[in-house]
Amino acid sequence: MLNIKVLGSGCPNCQKVEEHTRQALADLRPAGGYEIEHVKNPLDISEYVLKTPGLVINETVVSEGRIPDTAEIMTWLADALLASE
């Protein structure tokens, strides 16, 4: 199972990261399922990144302070799936 956290206050950039992540998940359709959470609390965000938007997959920060495209997120998700096997 993939555990995904989108980090940010809910601004348009954070929403775009979540949108790209959901698109990548729809394309990848991970067999073990996934859980996606949008973390908006500044204290919780600061445990992972200093700049938002941020993206965390299985407790590993994969992106900070930028909007990754769907293909890049799909690569990170596939890597996380391989690592969890």
- Is 14 one of the catalytic residues? yes
Non-local (6+) Cβ contacts of 10 within 8 A are: 38, 40
Q: Give the pLDDT band of residue 73 (cuts 50, 70, 90).
A: very high
Q: Which domain holds residue 77?
A: 2-83
Task: Give the global pTM.
Answer: 0.94
> pLDDT of 1-11, one tens digit each?
899 999 999 89
Q: Is the peptide bond before 68 cis (omega within 30 degrees of 0)?
A: no
Task: Report the DSSP pairing between strands 34-39 and 2-7.
Answer: parallel
Q: Give the pLDDT band of residue 25 (cuts 50, 70, 90).
A: very high
Active-site residue among 4, 14, 55, 56?
A: 14
Paired tokens of 29: 């359709």
The domain that contains 47 carries what CATH number?
A: 3.40.30.10
Total count of domains within the chain: 1
- Is 34 one of the catalytic residues? no
1/76: higher pLDDT: 76
Active-site residue among 11, 71, 78, 83?
A: 11
